[in-house]
Amino acid sequence: MGIFIITSPKENGKLMNSQLSKTQNLYFELVNNIEEKNIDYNEAKSIINNLKFENVVQEKESIVIKEDNENIEITLSNNNISILEYKNDKNIVLSFMNANEAKEIGNEEKYSMRLENLSAENLGEVMKNINPDIAKNKLFKSYLDVLQLAGNNKITKEEVLKIDSTLSQPEGKNQLQNTLSSKDDDYNLSSVYNSEGNLLNMSFANNSYNIVFDINIKNNYSNQANFNLQDEKSQKNLIEIMN
């Protein structure tokens, strides 16, 4: 899966606090302190208390902090913070895991971000703000058109090929009879079908930005996007979208 690297949004070395909500401030403040000082939960608790959150629920190995339409979940391991996860009502999820946790599960990166279950229209608008070049790409547009159909739960190979006729069986992979894919410079679109010719999964990827989108067709459909935005402009655009 693609990974989104997001460092704390900084300007002249300082957090851009005015652009962040209270809960986002807490998330980035904790990330900074874990990265720079390797703080444990006792030290994190004082940061949480300083920001005066009223709705804090502590369980044995996790803490959930809620504020308006946002929340942060902290997962603990031996009183150390192993995973931080921020969610809001726009289906945006930011997560951070400490170096030991990342290494243990084989992740190269500690930071990730995803957008969950966005409509084709919303996802298209988000991408226009994050990266206009990707938003204009023909394979990305094909992906959005398929996503538009995904709410019907059943999409046939023929319907997908009507949307994008450039999809074809990958060369040299005869064993993958149920796979169709297409490539356009740094962009890839791939799809997998069951024995009846119905779509099971479609993925869009941009290798330069390590952006990956997945549609998974089950009884319902889900759309999950993962990002790796390393340039400062894209990160600032994301903060604006989040707020």
Check residue 94 and give its pLDDT.
Answer: 78
Q: Which amino acid, one-letter code, is at 205?
A: A
Check residue 235 and give its pLDDT.
Answer: 55
CA dist list (Å): 43 to 23, 26, 56, 195: 17, 13, 16, 55
Query: Hey, how many other C-beta atoms are within 10 angstroms of the C-beta on 123?
Result: 21
In the three-class reduction of DSSP (H, G, I as helix; E, B as strand; rest coil), residue 127 is classed as helix
pTM above 0.85, yes or no: no
C-alpha 201/C-alpha 215 separation (Å) is: 5
Q: Which amino acid, one-letter code, is at 64?
A: V
pLDDT in tens, 1-12: 222 333 333 433
Task: Answer left, alpha or beta for residue 106, where phi above 0 means left and psi between -120 and 50 means alpha.
Answer: left
Task: From first to last of the 243 residues of the chain, give the pLDDT tens digit.
Answer: 222 333 333 433 333 445 678 888 888 888 888 877 888 888 888 888 888 888 999 887 889 999 989 999 998 888 888 888 888 887 777 777 776 665 665 555 565 666 667 778 888 887 887 778 889 999 999 999 998 887 666 889 999 999 999 999 877 655 556 899 999 888 999 999 988 898 988 889 887 766 777 877 765 566 666 665 544 455 556 666 656
- The most distant pair of C-alpha atoms in the chain lies apart, rounded to whole Å, by 60
In the three-class reduction of DSSP (H, G, I as helix; E, B as strand; rest coil), residue 42 is classed as helix
